[in-house]
Every structure is written in C-alpha cells, then in structure tokens.
A and B are shown apart, each in its own frame.
Chain A
Amino acid sequence: MKKRIKEFYINEDGNALILVMLLVMCMMLIAGGVMAVAFSHAEISQAYKRTSNLYYAAQSGAEKMVDHINKILMKEMPHLIEKAANEAKNKVTTTPKSPEEPVVNSDFTKLKYSILEDENEENSSPYKGEFLLDNLYQELLKEKAIETIVGDTSPINENTVLMRFEYELKNERNKSLVEVKLKPKMALEKVTGFTVISTATLQKESDELSKIILEGDIIISDLIGHKELFLEEYQWKDENLIPNTFRSPILTFGDLVITDGAEVIINGDVRAKGYIPHIDMSEVGIVPFPELEEYGGIYVSHGGKLTIHGNIVTLANVHTMNRYNTQNAKTKITVTGDVFANSVAIEDDYPYKGDASADSRPIGAKVINQYITINGDVYVDNDIAIDRYVEGTPGIGEDIETLIKIDGSVYGIMNEDPAGKDPNKSSGIYAIGKKSRIEIGQHAFVHGNAFISFDGGKHFSHLYESMGEPYEDVGFLDNYINNVVLGDESYLTLKKDYIVKNKIKLHLVDGGNFFAYAPRMISANGRFFKFEDAGNVIKDDSGKEISNASFVAPEQLKRLFNQGEIDIQELLKISPVGKDGIVKWAESIDQGSGSPKIAEIINNAYNYLKKEGNPYNREYFSDDGTSYDSMYYYRGIQGYMFLKRDIFYKNINTSIYSDINTSKETPENMEFTGDIINSTVALDENIWTKDNPVYILESSSSDEKLINVSDFYDGNKPVETIIIDKGEGTISLYASDPNQNDFYGLIVSKGRVKFGTSSSINEFKGIIIAQGKNNGNTNMTTAQIVSGEYAGVLVEADDPLTITYDKDILFKVKCKNRAVKRAILDYLGLTNYVNNTNHEVNEVEPILDSPSINIENIQKVDFSSHSVLDIKNTKAYRGIRFEMKTLRQVDSES
C-alpha cells in the first residue's frame, strides 16, 4: 500500500490533463463571474432605463397636479381677489349699514400707519405716511385659494381625495399607468396645504413589472415683495355723531346777510352766531342797551329774499330791514323749520335816518314789503317784533296785514335779566308798525314783556303788555316814560278803545288744542285780556272767561322755560323732576282732567332732551340715569335752546355747582380758532388741481380775494373742492362761465365768504364754515351790520343762489396727495395725525380716536368703504400660487 502511494506520487501520468481540466474549470468560473457581473450591469442598465421612465412619469404626474390646481387658481383669481380685497377692506373700514344696525368698529389692529422718511428733511411730516395692511389681504387670499381647491368637500380629513386623474404612457411592449391624487394637509381641522401622491406602474399585459410612488407636499406661497397699501377715505364714524361743525350748510360765527335784492334758497339749517352788541353794564343808563336792529344774526335786507328749508339757530336775531327807497322790492324770510334766536323782528330803516349814505325817509313815512314766515316753532330769548316805521299794505277789504307769520308755536323764555338791567332779556310779542300783524298758529308762551327804547336806546320803558300793540298809541304818556321798571296798567283801561287789539293773532279757541300764557296784559284777537296770576281763569276785558288755554300759574311757566327766581336749586339739573321729586313736566297745564301735560305741549324739547330724541343719544335728563353735567344750568326750553345752539358754547364750568347762587349762568363762548379749527396745524398754501382740489390761501383783512368757481370744473362737472382761507379777509366767489357756475365743496374761512353782486353762481352744494370778518371787537353800526360788512356769509348776488347742505362734502373731496387731506382733517379737528409722530407707535387708533380739537370727545371719522387697496411692489413681485415643496419616493401610499 505504501508503495502504491509512492508510485502515485512518482508517476506523473495524467497530471497535465488534470491540470488543464482544473485550469479550464477555473477559467470557466472566472468567465462565469465576469459574465454574471456583465449581465447584471446590463440588467441594471435596462432596469434603470425602464424605471427612469417610470420615475419621470410619476414626477410629471405630480407636477401636472400642481399645474392643474394653479390653473384653477388662475381662473378663479379675479374672483378670489375680489373677495379677499373686499373682505380685507371691510375689516378696516366701516361698511354701509342700515340705520338700525349698530356701528361696528373697524379692526385697526390690522392696519399700521407708517410715516415716510423724507430724504430731504430731517423729520418727516406726520401727514406723509402710508396705511399698510399687515398682510391681511395676503392671508385672506391664501385662505380663499385653498378654499377654492377644497370646494365643498365635507367632511374632510387627510385621507380625503380632493382631486385625481390618471393617464397612460404606452408603447408596443408595455405601458406605464400614472395615477395622481390630491389630498389635504390639515392643521387644527383647517386645510393648510395639500399632498400629491403620484403612482406610476409599469405593466406588461396584466403583469406589474415595476412601481414607483412619489409623494409631494404642496404649499401655497406668500405674496413676495409686496406691500398692502390702504388708500384711505373717510366717512363719519356715526351719522348721529357728526360734529356740530358739519351739521348745516352754513355755520358762521358772524352774520348771514342777504341784501340788495339777492335771492337765496338754503336747503338745510343755518347756524349763525350773529353779532351781539357789546354792553357795558357799568354804565347802564348812559350807554344804551342795543335795540333789536343793532344785533346781527340772520339779516335779510333791501329786497333780499331768503328761503330756508330747515332751521335757524342764532344767538342774535332773525330780522329783515328795508330801506325806504327799495321798499318796492320785497324783503322776505321764509323758514320751513324752527327758529332759535334772540329775537325775530321786522325792522324799520330808522338806523339809516340821518346817515349821509342812507336814504332820507319823510317823517311819518314807513317802509313796506317785509315778511317773515316761519312754518315751525320759534324759540326766542327776547321778542318777536315789528318795528315802528314799518307798515303793512293790506289788500282790498283788509285793514291789517300779517307780516310775521308763525305756523308753529312761540316760546319766549326770558322774563327778566338776572341782573335786572338788560331790557333784551324779557320776552314779548309786539307789532308796532302800522297795519302790521304777527300771527301765531299754535301755542304762544312768553315769559316777560317788551321794552321800548327812547333816546336812541338810552332809556327803556317796560311796557304793560306781554303781547300786543304797545307803543303807537301810548308812547306819549308821561307816566309810561317814567315808569322804567313797571308802568301803571290803568292806562290800558283808559286807552283800551284806542289800542289796536288785533295786531297779534292767536289761534286760541275754546276747547282747542293750542294754549297761551303771558305774565302781563295781552291785546290779541281783537280782545284785551290778562292771565290771572294765581288762578286758572283767563279773562278778557269784557270779563269773558277763557278756559283750557292757559297755564295754572306762572310757576308752571317758569318750570317750562326753566328761567326765573323760583328755588334756584331746582334749576341745577336739567330734569323734568323738581327738587320736591314731582315730575313737573308731567303736570297738566290747567290741572283739569284730560288736559295736556306740559311735556306734550313742548314735546319737541322734551323729546330732544331724552336720549332717544337727540342725535347724540345723550341723556340730558339727569334722572334718566346719566347726567350730562355740563348742562346743570340749562333745563326745559332754555336747555333745549342751549343744546340747539351749543355749537356756540363750551366749557360750562360745573365746578361752580356749589356756588350756584353767586355764579353767572353764562357758558363760555366757543371760539372759531382753537375750537372750530386747530390753529396749531400748519396748512401750507395750495393751488387747486383736479387731482388735489384743495385751495388754501391766506387773505389779509383788507383783502377781497376773487375765486372763480368755473376753474373748479372737470369738463361740465364741478369737482368737489375745499377752499380754506387762513386769513381774516374776504373770499368772493364768482363764476366766469355761465355754464360752469356751480360750486360743490367745503369752504372754511377765518374771515368772510361773499357772493358778490355779479357772482353768477347758481348752486353752492356743501358747507360754509366762516368765522366772519373781524370787526376789531368794537360795536358796529346797524348800516355796517345790514350791509354785511363784517358778516360771515354775505350774499348780494343778482342771480338766485341755492345753497344745499351735503353732510359728506368733506369726504367727497378726493385728494391724490393724502397728506393735504390729512392736514385738513387735523385742521378741522377731526383727526390727530399731528401728534402721531412717534414712528414706533404710529398706530391708527390715536389718529382717529383723539381728534386734534378735543371739544367733543368722540371718535368722529372712520375709514369708509370708498377706500381702496393698492398692492404695490417692493421688489420682484410674485403672486400667490401653489408650489411643490418636496417630492420624495415612498414605498407605499400613506
């Protein structure tokens, strides 16, 4: 065995074959390996070749989905923009609402005011800024865009398929099926984006060879490189809270004078503080108390005609005056509403007599053709009067003419000057003029009686009548002249047959609805009678008893008027409740059953004083729960008159409540500069352009700046314009073009606004706010007053002029340069840009909530729906769109 093994090793036969075979086998193994590798490469390449197509097919599907929803977005974009823009704007403006709906405050937190840095100035103007929405529009637009894709799918979760599509890519050998789905991405149950799942499957006949699933996140992009500019326009915050300044077409601290044949129709209220002559109380008896014609107010003279479709509010008088030689031209005032005035009077031209520039009227001659017609009520501190040298011109069959006709009621609230000296603080109704009559259609309550003056007003006599014809037939009685305080009524008895007793016409009938009271004698309705002081009986001179047409006692009248010497503490609050707790205004006027109550008679005042009755929704009655403290001194009709005239008052000092017995019940007067306009706002002079229709000038007191309203036209259409005269001169409006003779706009003047003789202006639509020309704080002559020399508004135009109130005229003036408009709003005390200079603060509330003049601490203006959104670029701007944020391969659909 050992040998055989040895031989085996020694013998080499067959070794080569074995080696070759081994070698071959090795080579085959190597070759096989090489081939395996090579084939696997080929396989990989082929597989890659196939799957790359598949991947691209899936990717294309995902991209197509993004493209598809973007196309939907594009298609809907105008609609989405419309909705988002409207919604964004409505968030920061007050949208139009019906009067019944409460006003909803704008959400100013969405808005910032950014003051623009001026490269040329160290400090930028607070008016040069931008209101910017804090991406509110963008967020709303994105929200709407997502809503558009989601549609009305409900319920919805992350597995909800919102959209899907399929397509095939195929050739002879196989096909790729692509299926694409869109699903929502949710956060806090809100869709915030989308997921796209794109599945591409390679199929050969029915065999699935390969499959790729791609999943992508779709986001909605921001608007990039933009700012949301809010081009603001304004409106009244609350139409019930329109500032007093803008409540009438004419507001003047001077007079409104219509003269020399001018014909004016005013649609709206007129509020003219009016010139009130100065009285030096220390020299009573030497320096005359002013007569009625020496007051300003509403003066229509020398053939002027004024029709007011509204109310008149003045601290002075409403009166006419006709010169003797112009008396053929009718001078007339017609008021459809109420009148709140010191007096209402038709004057003679006595003040002109002896004046070199005036007419010479023969002694005994009188002026005619003057009329005052008032359809509403008349509330006066003083008198309703027709002056001495006035004569009616009755027609055939008549012996007397009505010159002052009041369809409503008359309330003359004063009985005497608290200081006991001023004859103009006692109310009466008298018609001295020959054949003249004052007719009152409803109630007639006066609290005093008239005084007449002698010696140019140096001496006044207290008349015997509260109503009637006091002077003409009794003027020469010596005792009458000497009885300065109270006269002897016995003359009336003596002269009763000679006194014309029908110059006052009252509509009092037994059992009727209208009532009267006067503390002294009355000659009216052809009779002569008196209310008894302590009783409820009215007796005429024949002893006829008139019931149901009087107050019980003067006490009631005092409560009604709220003026007098009864328990002064009772006057401290504006309340219908007396100190004794009795609701005075609820008392019947004659204590008879079924008779009306005081509050019913003066229901206008009563209602106004209640919260729901006045436009401010203020509770003037202290017992209504909220006292309006500044009204402590004013109640009843006096309070009503005060409130109606409160544009001329301010700062009633309530701190003197405890010292009421010694304090004067006189409020501080409102000043034009500082109270109506903010003089600290520096308005630059500005030339009118169509895009910035603001004309700011400064006239000197001797100036009369002519302003041609025909220049303020755009074609045939007047452009709403603001004219501001910072000076105390006169701006005189005229129209050079008879076809362009309307003016729509707002005029604010520290001086006088004049419609001159040949102004040719047809219509003024808007508001005039005028201080009136400064007269140097000296007394003016009646001729100066009547001619409007220092008036606030003077009309002496030959052509008829219509002045129509437009409460929104300030906002209808559209300025491209908003800095100009903002400064004007500050100037008018409506906004407070001027103090909003802190760049870090620059919020909206301080601008609108704190007006620059703090007279009425209410938010006055708000941004209106006339405002516009302007999306501006700051750099390359991109709109919103859906974008694929990531695209990844996943093993299976999630």
Chain B
Amino acid sequence: MCKVQNHFTVESESGFSYIEVLIAMAIFAISVIPILSMIFNASQNTVSGRRYYEATIMVQNLSERIKNEIERRLVNNEPLGEGTAPQSLALFLNPSDTNYSKFNDAFNGDEYEYDVYIKKTDGSDQYKLLKENNYNYDYLFVHINRGETSPTEPSLMPDPITELDLTGQNSDPGIFDTFIEGDLPTDSMELEFDGTDDWDIIKSNSPDKSKIDLTWNDFNDFPSCVMVVSNPLSPNPALETDDRIEISLDVSKLQEEHRLDIRLENNTKATIIFYIYRGNKVDVKTLDKNIEVFPIQNDPDGNIFIERKTKMIPRENYIIRIVARDRKKHSKILKDMVDIYSHDYRIAAY
C-alpha cells in the first residue's frame, strides 16, 4: 500500500483520476462483457426453456385432442385420413376451421409448427414412425407456418429411429394383436335395417352348422320378419346346448316412423344371442318402442337372449408421434413425443 501511495501521491498525481477511471472502465468493460454474455445466455435459456415448456404443454394437449378425434372418428366409422399424404392437422381436428384460427389460438400457431405421424398397430412387433424406405406411418398431419403453407412433408425430418418396440421379454402374447372387424363366429348372421322397409343380410356364416331361415311377412300393416333357427339338415348333427348362434341386427338407420316386428324362433338346443345394435344418434326410447321382438324358444334346453345396445367394436391401437417445432427458428424441433391411442371405455356408449 505504501508503494502505491508513493507512486500516485509522492511522485506525480496529475492525470491520475483520468487514468484511474480509464483503467477502471477497462476492467469493468472486460468484466462486464462475459457477464452480459452470461446474462444474455441465461435469458436465451430462459426463453428457450419457456418454449420447450410451452411446446411440451402444447404437444400434450394436442395428443389428447388427437386421441379424442381418433375416438370420435372410429366410433362414427369415419376414416382418420386419406393415406400417407400430408394433411392439415387443423382440419383433421376441426374441418370447419378453414382459416386455422382456432388451431392457431389453441396451439399457438404463431410460435409453433407441428407434424403428427399416426400408425395403426397391425400385429407387428416394431414400429418406426418415419419414412425410410417406405412410409412407416399411415397418416401424416402437419401444421406449418400458421397453416398458411400447404401441408407438406417436413423439410427437416425428426430422428428416423424413433420406434416402438413391443418385443418385451416379459410380455404376455397378443397384447397388440389386431382385431379384424368382420370376423364372424361359426354360426352367425349380421343384418342391417336399410332405413326403408326391409333389412338385409350383411354377413352370414352358417353353412352347415345351423339353419337360419328368414321370412318377411307383411301383416299387421308393416313389414315384419320371422327368423327361424333350426337344426341343420342331415347328416350334420343337431345343435347341442353348448352351441351358440349369434344374430345381430344393425338398426342405426331406424327413424321414429319405422317399426320393426321380429319373430325369432329357436327350434334347437343351442343358445341364440340376438343383438340389436343402434347408432349413437338413435333415440333409445324410439329404439325400444319401434322394435318389437317376439322370441319363441321351442326346445326347453335351448335359449334365446336379446340385448339391445350400441355395437361394441374392438378398436385398433394407434401409435401417435407428435413433433412440435419452433416456427421462428427454422422449424427447430422443440418436442418429440410418442403416445398410444387406446379406446376410452369410460366415455364410449355401447
């Protein structure tokens, strides 16, 4: 301290403050630059974190919306999309959102872009949800540049190896097996009321096991149907008590003015299960009031069971990959999430 004092006070003090300030400023400047840089980086990280965070939230919300939309379309027998060509995500979720404003509001289209890859499980063990040699997704929905850019494949593809591997060593088999609609039990018949005065046989699978005769009568002023289940003709053996025959009638097109009168006779020892399916929109009271079933079980060992309900169809699983991108940063990937659609049994009415 004494030396410093001597240097500045004893030997010369002129201009000292100027130099001192300059030095201080230099030191300050040298010190502050990295500090500012750090602050800037911190700020950047904060913004980035916020965006990641927001993108994650958006993707989660989007995932729920997509699953709901899949649910809705499956229940109403509507296709999810038209092949693997890129389609508008906003219109997929809401076809009336033609200017994408609702989507942009809900999912911050100013900031983010999305691409969604959907793959239906098909019994395979592994799924890769990106284009490699072939399309490995069934549907691609995108939302680019607030929807103002036509749906197209993302220029910057996400990691191609994101995959779902179902070959768990401890898995019970058949977890992701495909349920194919249209498979009928050995003895079964599917009918559909066509909305006019008749109903048609959609499928029938009773070549020799049983004999199901359908007769349309025209009494009581409205068309009626007589279904008689009999034993198969010789030499096929007669039906026994452990045999089951399923007959289902789809009355989704039933209107209030319609009336169906069904006489169902079982002349066998088998159990007939007669389902009457309705569409979700059919009023239940109308359904019961307008459909009269007169079951006649002629063999004391046989049985008829009637159940009226909405058709319960096994729904496939869908693997959904959602990628959120930063619209303002060259479509940088902010969030990449995989979800699996499983039918929501709590809300479905059947």
Task: Tell me the A residues contacting B by CB distance below 8 Å.
Answer: 11, 13-14, 16-17, 19-21, 23-24, 27-28, 31-32, 34-35, 37-39, 41-46, 48-49, 52-53, 56-57, 60-61, 63-64, 66-68, 70-71, 74-75, 77-79, 81-82, 85-86, 89, 96, 163-172, 179, 221, 225, 231, 233, 235, 689-691, 814, 816, 864-879, 881-884
**With A and B bound together, what is the CA distance between A79 and B300 in angstroms?**
20
Docked-complex contact B170 and A165, CB < 8 angstroms:
yes
Distance in Å: Cβ of B287 to nearest Cβ of chain A: 6
Contact B32 A81 (CB under 8 A): no
- Cβ of B76 within 8 Å of any chain A Cβ, yes or no, is no
Apart from A46-B52, A56-B339, A878-B309: 5 A-B pairs, beta carbons within 8 A: A20-B24, A165-B170, A167-B165, A167-B171, A689-B219
- With contact pairs A34-B42, A35-B39 given, residues A16 and B293 touching in the complex (Cβ less than 8 Å): no
Contacts of B298 in A (CB 8 A): 866
9 sampled A-B residue pairs with Cβ under 8 A? A32-B38, A61-B340, A67-B342, A868-B306, A869-B304, A870-B293, A873-B284, A877-B350, A878-B309
Q: What is the CA–CA distance of A32 and B220 in the complex, to the nearest angstrom?
A: 90
CA of A11 to CA of B8, assembled, Å: 10
B295 contacts A871, C-beta separation under 8 Å = no
With contact pairs A34-B38, A48-B53, A872-B308 given, residues A233 and B342 touching in the complex (Cβ less than 8 Å): no
B198 at the binding interface (Cβ < 8 Å) = no
Contact, CB under 8 Å: B171 / A877:
no
| Whole-angstrom CA separation of A703 from B39 in the bound complex | 115
B345 x A882 contact (CB < 8 A): yes
Could you tell me if A170 and B21 are in contact, using CB atoms closer than 8 angstroms?
Answer: no
Select the stretch in B43-51, B134-142, B146-154 that faces chain A: B43-51
A368 to B8, CA, bound (A): 173
User: Which A residues lie within 8 Å of B350 (CB)?
Assistant: 877-879
In the complex, B222 has a CB within 8 A of chain A = no
- Name the interface residues of B300-350: CB closer than 8 Å to any CB of A: 300-301, 303-310, 312, 314-315, 317, 335-340, 342-346, 348-350
Please indicate the chain B residues that have their CB under 8 angstroms from the CB of A17 in the complex: 20, 23-24, 27
Verify A165–B314 contact, CB threshold 8 A: no
Quote the shortest CB–CB distance from B37 to chain A (angstroms): 9
Q: Provided the pairs A31-B35, A41-B49 are in contact, do residues A868 and B171 lie with their beta carbons within 8 angstroms?
A: no
Contact between B63 and A56, CB atoms less than 8 A apart:
yes
Known: A74-B312, A81-B273, A690-B219. A870 touches B294 (CB 8 A): no
By the criterion CB–CB under 8 Å, are A868 and B305 in contact?
yes
Count contacts on B: residues with CB < 8 A to the other chain: 97
Per-position 1/0 for B203-244, Cβ under 8 A of A: 000000000000000011000000000000000000000001
B60 at the interface (CB under 8 A from A): yes
Q: Are B305 and A82 in contact (CB under 8 A)?
A: yes
Given contacts A24-B27, A52-B56, A71 and B314 within 8 Å (CB-CB)? yes
The answer to whether A873 touches B300 (Cβ under 8 A) is no
Does B182 sit within 8 A of A, measured CB to CB?
A: no
Q: Is the CB of B305 within 8 A of A27?
A: no
Contacts of A14 in B (CB 8 A): 1, 4, 8
Given A44-B49, A864-B300, A882-B345, A20:B28 Cβ within 8 A: yes
Q: Assess A81 versus B56: contact at CB under 8 Å? Given A24-B27, A39-B45.
A: no
Q: How far is the CA of A662 from the CA of B324 in the complex (A)?
A: 111
Q: At the interface with chain A, which of B80-88, B92-100, B155-163, B189-197? A: B155-163
Assess the B172–A163 pair: CB atoms within 8 A.
Answer: yes
Contact A56 B337 (CB under 8 A): yes
Asked whether A24 and B31 contact (CB < 8 A) given A67-B342, A165-B172, A873-B287, the answer is yes
Q: Which residues of A contact B179 (CB under 8 A)?
A: 71, 74-75
A27 and B303 in contact (CB under 8 A), knowing A41-B46, A52-B56, A167-B166?
no
Whether a CB of chain A sits under 8 angstroms from the CB of B9 is yes
Given contacts A52-B60, A64-B317, A865-B303, contact A876 B35 (CB under 8 A): no
CB distance from B35 to the nearest CB of A (A): 4
Q: Is B169 an interface residue (CB 8 A)?
A: yes
1/0 contact string of B1-23 vs chain A (CB within 8 Å)? 10011001100000011001101
Shortest 9 CB-CB contacts between residues of A and residues of B: A166-B168, A38-B42, A45-B49, A67-B342, A165-B171, A42-B45, A20-B24, A31-B35, A60-B340
Contact A871 B53 (CB under 8 A): no
Assess the A23–B28 pair: CB atoms within 8 A: yes
